[in-house]
Every structure is written in C-alpha cells, then in structure tokens.
Amino acid sequence: MNAQIAAILTMDGVATGAIYVLMALGFVLIFSVTRIVFVPFGDIAAFTALTLAALENRQFPGTVGLVAVLAVVATAMELFAILRAGSLARIPRALFFYLVLPLLPAALMVLVRGAPLGAPLRIVATVALILPIAPLIDRIVFRPIADASVLLLLIVSVALHFALSGMGLIFFGPEGVRTQSLTDFSVMVAGVPISGESILIVIAAAIFCLLLFLFFEFTIQGKALQATAMNRTGARLMGIRPAHAGTVAFLLGSAMAAISGVLIAPVNTMFYDSGFIIGLKAFVGAIIGGLVSFPLTAAGSLFVGVLESFAAFESSPFKEVTVFSLLIPVLLWRSYTLLQPEEDGEE
Amino acid sequence: MKKLASVMAALAGLCLAASVQAQEITVGFVTSLSGKASSIGLNYEKGFNAAVSYKSDVNGHKIKIVRLDDVSDPSAATQAARKLVEQEKVDIMIGTSSAPGATAMMSIANELKVPLIAISPVLLKIPAEGHPWGVAIPQTPDLMVKVIADRMKREGIKTAGFIGFNDSWGDLVYNGAKAAEAAGGPKVTSNERYARTDTTVTAQALKILATNPDGVYDGGSATQGALPLLELRKLGYKGGFFGTPSLLNRDFVRVGGKAVEGVQVSAGPVIVTSQLPDSHFSKKIGTTFHEIFKKANGVEADDGFSGYAFDAWLVFLKAAETALTKAKPGTQEFREALMDAIYADKDVIGVHAIYNFTPKSYYGVDERSLVVVKLVDGAWKYQP
C-alpha cells in the first residue's frame, strides 16, 4: 500500500462514512428522545431509493400504497383513542394530521402519475412521500407502548423491521434499482480521483450536522427535544409533551433517512431489503457515540466507513467481520470508561 | 336391495372411469410466482407455458398438469413436492426456480421415489444406495467458468483477477476459476469479495489493479455484477472482463453502461438463437421455442431460465414415449420406467444443451451447452 492508495481508500471511506453519519445521527436523535433504537431506519432509506427510481422510470411509486395503509391505520387508532376519551372536538385536528397531511404528497403523486418530473422535483417529491412514514409508525406502534422498557422497545423495533421489509416486498417488488447520477462532476486532487457524488454526500452530511446543531441550540422546539431526551418527567413538568417531542424526532429521523436514501441511490443498487445492513453499520457508529453524543457519533460513523474501506483492501471476504467485531472492544471501552447513570429504575 | 345394486353398479362404473382416467399422465410443476425469486420464477412459468403449447400429449395420452407456487421458500417447495406426490399422485415433477428449492424437492423425490426434473442447480449428494430420482437441467457453475476460461486462454490471457460475491455463488465461480487454472487456464491473481449491499468496491478494485492481470473474472450476478467493473474502469483498468450467465441481465447492461461494453460471458445458446449458425444443434429447436414462446406469452424470450423449463419438458416427453410402452401412467412402475428412460435416452436435443443423463450425477450437459457472447453496443453478440 502506498500513499496514493491510502488516499483513495480514505476518500472512499469518508464518502461511505458520511452516509453512515446521516443515519447514525438519526439513530441517536430518535433514541435520545424516545429511547427507541429505530431498527427500520435503513429500510426507510432503502424505500426512498426505490421511490426515487420509480419516479425516474415514470412508474407509480409503491410508497403511495405504503403511506396510505399506514395513514389509515394511524387515523383509525387515533379516532378510537379520541372516542374513548370522549373529546370529540379533537377529531378534525386528528383527521388533518394523521390522514390529510400524510396523504397530501401521495395524492399529488396520483394526480401527476406518469408525468415526467425534473431531477430536483423528483427528489423533493420523494422526500415528501417518505417523510410521513416514521411519524406514522411511531403513532401506530410506539405511542401505545411509549413507557415500556428499552429492551421491549428494541424487540418491537426489530419486529417492525421485518414487517416493514415484508411490506417493502409487496409495494416495491423484488427488483433492485439504481438511479441516475446526481452529478457527473469529478476532480483529481494530487492524483486521487474524487467523484462529485462523494463530495455531495460529504457536504450533505456536514450540512445536516450543522442544521441539527443550530436546531438544538437556538430553537425552542430543539430545546424541548433536548429536555425530553434528558428527563422525560422533568420535561413534562415544564409543559413539554413527550409524545409531541417523539413525533418531531421521528419526523427529523424520517428526513435524514430520506436524504441518505437519495444520496445512496445513485452509488449503489438498492433492493427492498438493502437498508438493514447499511443501517446496522451506521448503528455501530451510533454505538461509538454511546447513542447520546452527536459529535462522537459523527466521528464514529466516519471511522466505520474508513475502517470498512481499509478492511476491504486488506482482506475483502472478512470486511463485515472486521467492522462488526469492532463493536466488542468499543462496548467494552464504553462500559469501562463511562459510568452510565441508572435509568430511572425502569429496568 | 335393488337400490344397493344400482349404487354398486354406479360405483363400479366410476372405478372404471377412474381407471380410464389414469391413462393420462400427470405432471407436477413448481415455480416461484411470489417472493424473492419471483422475478426468475416468472420466466420459468413462461417457459413452461411455451413448452405445454409446444406439445401436450404423448402418443395420444393426454397430459394433466398440476401447478404450484413455492413462494420462493425451500420449505414450501418441500411441501409442494409432497403434495404433488401424495395428493395429486403425479408421475413426474418439474421444479423449481431456486437452487435451495430444487435441492429440497430433489431430496423428496429421492425419498418418495418419484422422478424430478430440476430446472435449477441441485446441491445434493448422490444417494449411496440405488440411483438418484431426478436430474438437473442447468449447466454446472464449473462448466460455466471452464468455457469462459478456455476462451480467455484462446485470447492469450495469462493472468486473471477475481472479484465476486461474498456468498456461495462467489465461491462456486472462484472454485471454477481455480479449477480452470489447474487445467492450464489463466492464473488467478486475486480473490476479492463484496456483498450485494455494498455501496463501494474501490478497495477491492485497487487490490486487483495492484496485481495487474490481463483480464478479470466477475463472480457477481445481475445488477450488482456491474459494480466492480464500473469501479475498475473508473480507476483506469484497460483489460477485458469475463463472466458467467448470471450477468445476462437487462439491468446489468443498463447500470454498467459504457464500462461493461465488451464484457464476455458464457451463456446457454438459447440466448443468441437467431445469431447461431444453421449447423448448431440449438438453432432449429431454439427458433421453434422463440416462436412458441412469443405466441404463448405475448413477449419475446430474452432470458435463459425459460429455456430450462422448456428443455425439462422435452426430456420428459422423450422419456414418456419409452415409458408408456412399459407401464401404465399413475403406477409406481410407470415412475420407474420414466426414470429409467431418462437415463437411457441419449443425445436429447434441447434449446440449451444435448442431454445425456446418468445415475452417477444429477447433471447431464457438456461444453456444447455453452457458447461465448460479448456485449456490443448494449446487446449480446455470439462469438464463435
């Protein structure tokens, strides 16, 4: 291995790592606010890629069916809860947030079905279609068990991954897709080719890190999320609704999954079940950050990407083994160096 | 009493009718119409449709067909095979669209002693006692690699890099390449692997470049098979690319674009029927197959899988002719006669190969079953 090869590997690793950064930040965000390890994160990213490809091929995206099913179930559950509480005045609001709003992009999609859309419009439409998925799942699956233990939430989350990937097969079919490149730009830096795609990915990750930082530091909404993450009961006493904070966290998570999906789609063939393994590697990054620290998570995810790249060069059949074996020393190190506070005596 | 007698008479009549009915041959066909393998399974289904429209009786005996879907699941394939034998009393089975499914069906065939013509590779040991109760139509991975390795040797390629999937398919192709090396083929300089879900293979490509091989084996399949080739071309690799029939895929060509132009793969002759010389064994039957396929399904046959289903039918028809002279359909003797006839028939010509089955192996094809095709301007061209 010479310096040039090392440089190429590092570049490649950083580009892969940046995708993990986006996903891992989503993991941490959702976990810190809701205590849910949101395993289906990768699935949502894969669905994004499949939606984008469907729009590109002027096919009707399966996402519309998926969102419709989720929205109808969520509305039914919400209405049932409202009827039981007897506060009928909340019905219009519930209908708007759980039925009309999520179905709006889907309805637009039905109207423009088959029409040629420009690349930026396709991306916007895709993100709009994907956005409601995570909040709706939150309403259907996690809201009723919001106070359960972390372990139970994790198990439900894993089950949800299998359910979603099964639904992915129904709505998107078994074929893999790859979308057109976002850009053909490429530049040589000291003999190392850097593709525009990698630059885009890294820039997107950087922008998202910055936006998250600004959101948490300078907005009331962000501070409310942070407060919920630190202490649910305390936040509640201060007038913050944890359920609402959860929805916001899931919405942000959905957005990050969508963005990473859009960025992966042109560099890799995505299948309905491709998201899981990518999400799993991002999860390793999130673990390095202890599922709490955003900067450490970003650094950890980049590290996973670069490690993966070098491991693939050294011995490609053992690449995954190397990446996932990393979890063991990291977990050991974290459990020795950080004394985790007892979690409100819940477990 | 009279009533009882008439009932008895009616029953006897029914039995008689049933025994006349038994004169028709029952064939069970299993493929995956849903689930992961359904994109391939559908091709098998279409190929089978074409086969049935090609010929649906043997010497005046009608053929009854029972079709089942195995939802891409080997355990469902097992159940389907049991159902076919125990409920439907089939004389012979044809199936299914994945190697694990076909393997599962083969073990049932061996257990229940009902012939199976597998249309996917079978990864099962030959039973220690007696003979196996089935044959497999497809070319073996070894053969697929050998044919392309021979071509590389002919083109003067001395060294070849290998990059393939990190799974059993990658292993099969790599082992084939190593076997070809031992037989005087190109020397394999690397064993790089990647997963279907990988976003990048830059590292593996760099490793291959470092060994500077004359050509590169692609041990991937379908769309993701294009990934390493794209990367190698991007890094400036100039040598040739070589692969197996698993790259014969529309998405491979679409995704690979210019980078995969000129890639050479071994393929069943049915892929390029119209380009074959008239002297080629597959020309005549292949042309018939393409015509019937279009009539039966309304679309052109552009895959290799439908050809396997068609060939399975041809092998069955040929064997049934002999078997009908020896036993009656619906009996175990007929099943045995069918199996014996499949082994006894020599040089059965299909769209993929000339079949010669023996009880020593599930496979009965030789090097004639593969031709080399090259991707020129986005279309596969026959290379004599």
d(CA A314, nearest CA chain B) in Å: 8
Residue B7 is assigned to a structural domain of this protein = no
Residue A130 has a pLDDT of 93
Q: Look at B166 and A316 and tell me if their CB atoms are within 8 Å.
A: yes
The closest CB to that of B197, out of A174, A277, A309, belongs to A277
The band of A185, judged by pLDDT with boundaries at 50, 70 and 90, is: confident
Residue B381 is assigned to a structural domain of this protein = no
Q: Look at A9 and B202 and tell me if their CB atoms are within 8 Å.
A: yes
Residue B185 is assigned to a structural domain of this protein = yes
Question: Once rounded to an integer, what is the mean pLDDT over residues A209-228?
Answer: 88
CATH classification at residue B292: 3.40.50.2300
The band of B2, judged by pLDDT with boundaries at 50, 70 and 90, is: low
Q: Look at A16 and B38 and tell me if their CB atoms are within 8 Å.
A: no
Tokens of A92: 């219009």
Looking at the fold, whether B260 and B148 belong to one and the same domain comes out as yes
**Partner A, chain B 33-52, Cβ-Cβ below 8 Å:** 35-39
Looking at the fold, whether B244 and B318 belong to one and the same domain comes out as no
Residue A346 has a pLDDT of 45
Q: How far apart are CA A211 and CA A232, in angstroms?
A: 24
The closest CB to that of B203, out of A19, A268, A309, belongs to A309
Residue B7 has a pLDDT of 55
Residue B357 has a pLDDT of 94
Looking at the fold, whether B240 and B168 belong to one and the same domain comes out as yes
ipTM above 0.85 for this complex: no
Q: Which residue of A has its CA nearest to B204?
A: A313
Question: Once rounded to an integer, what is the mean pLDDT over residues B61-87?
Answer: 92
Residue B380 is assigned to a structural domain of this protein = no
Q: Look at A312 and B196 and tell me if their CB atoms are within 8 Å.
A: no
What residues form DSSP beta bridges with B217? B162, B242
What digits encode the pLDDT tens for the residues A315-335? 888 888 888 888 888 888 887
Chain B environment of A317 (Cβ under 8 Å) = 166, 191, 193
Residue A268 has a pLDDT of 78
User: Domain count of chain B?
Assistant: 2
**Partner B, chain A 6-45, Cβ-Cβ below 8 Å:** 8-9, 12, 15-16, 19
* Average pLDDT across chain A, whole number: 86
Asked if A176 is an interface residue toward chain B (Cβ–Cβ < 8 A), one would say yes
Residue B125 has a pLDDT of 87
Compute the half-sphere exposure of residue B44: CA atoms within 13 Å on the CB side of its CA: 30
The closest CB to that of B206, out of A5, A16, A264, belongs to A5
Length of chain A: 347
Residue B333 has a pLDDT of 93
What digits encode the pLDDT tens for the residues B84-99? 999 999 999 998 888 8
User: Cα–Cα–Cα angle for B178, B180, B184, nearest 5°?
Assistant: 115
The closest CB to that of B203, out of A175, A313, A317, belongs to A313
What digits encode the pLDDT tens for the residues B7-28? 555 555 554 444 444 478 999 9
**Order of strands, sheet of B25-31, starting from the edge strand that comes earlier in the sequence:** B57-58, B61-69, B25-31, B92-95, B116-118, B134-136
Looking at the fold, whether B132 and B145 belong to one and the same domain comes out as no
Question: Once rounded to an integer, what is the mean pLDDT over residues B171-192?
Answer: 91
Chain B environment of A174 (Cβ under 8 Å) = 35-39
Residue B20 has a pLDDT of 47
What digits encode the pLDDT tens for the residues A245-297? 889 999 999 999 999 999 888 887 788 888 888 899 999 899 888 888 888 89
Residue B15 is assigned to a structural domain of this protein = no
Cβ pair B134, B312 in contact under 8 A: no
Residue B74 identity (one-letter amino acid): P
Residue A304 has a pLDDT of 92
Looking at the fold, whether B177 and B131 belong to one and the same domain comes out as no
Residue A292 identity (one-letter amino acid): V
Residue B278 is assigned to a structural domain of this protein = no
Cβ pair B114, B85 in contact under 8 A: yes
Question: Once rounded to an integer, what is the mean pLDDT over residues B52-73?
Answer: 90
Chain A environment of B222 (Cβ under 8 Å) = 176
Looking at the fold, whether B32 and B49 belong to one and the same domain comes out as yes
Tokens of B235: 């890094």
Residue B154 is assigned to a structural domain of this protein = yes
- Give the list of residues 6+ apart from residue A342 with CB closer than 8 angstroms, or none: none
**Partner B, chain A 137-166, Cβ-Cβ below 8 Å:** none
Question: Once rounded to an integer, what is the mean pLDDT over residues A308-313?
Answer: 90
Residue B277 has a pLDDT of 92
Looking at the fold, whether B59 and B126 belong to one and the same domain comes out as yes
Q: Which residue of A has its CA nearest to B226?
A: A269
Residue A272 has a pLDDT of 83
pLDDT of B377 above 50: yes
Tokens of A278: 């990518």
What residues form DSSP beta bridges with B243? B218, B265
What digits encode the pLDDT tens for the residues B311-351? 999 999 999 999 999 999 999 999 999 999 999 999 999 99
* pLDDT-above-90 percentage for chain B: 61
How far are the Cα atoms of B47, B109, B137, B251, B353 from residue B291, in angstroms, in the given order? 12, 33, 22, 25, 19
Residue B14 is assigned to a structural domain of this protein = no
Question: Once rounded to an integer, what is the mean pLDDT over residues A119-135?
Answer: 91
What digits encode the pLDDT tens for the residues A35-66? 899 999 999 999 999 999 888 888 888 889 89
Looking at the fold, whether B93 and B183 belong to one and the same domain comes out as no
Residue A89 has a pLDDT of 84
Q: Look at A312 and B201 and tell me if their CB atoms are within 8 Å.
A: yes
- Give the list of residues 6+ apart from residue A276 with CB closer than 8 angstroms, or none: A39, A42, A43, A161, A165
* pLDDT-above-70 percentage for chain B: 94
Q: Which residue of B has its CA nearest to A7?
A: B203
Looking at the fold, whether B224 and B319 belong to one and the same domain comes out as no
Asked if B204 is an interface residue toward chain A (Cβ–Cβ < 8 A), one would say yes
Chain B environment of A12 (Cβ under 8 Å) = 200, 202-203
The closest CB to that of A269, out of B38, B166, B224, belongs to B224
Parallel, antiparallel or unpaired: strands B159-165 and B187-188: parallel
Chain A environment of B227 (Cβ under 8 Å) = 268-269
**Residue B33, domain extent:** 21-139+288-367
Q: How far apart are CA B19 and CA B5, in angstroms?
A: 21
d(CA B199, nearest CA chain A) in Å: 5
What digits encode the pLDDT tens for the residues B253-284? 887 888 899 999 999 999 999 999 999 999 99
The band of B289, judged by pLDDT with boundaries at 50, 70 and 90, is: very high
Cβ pair B329, B101 in contact under 8 A: no
Residue B192 has a pLDDT of 92
Size of the A and B interface in Cβ pairs below 8 Å: 86
Looking at the fold, whether B230 and B151 belong to one and the same domain comes out as yes
Looking at the fold, whether B246 and B301 belong to one and the same domain comes out as no
Looking at the fold, whether B99 and B129 belong to one and the same domain comes out as yes
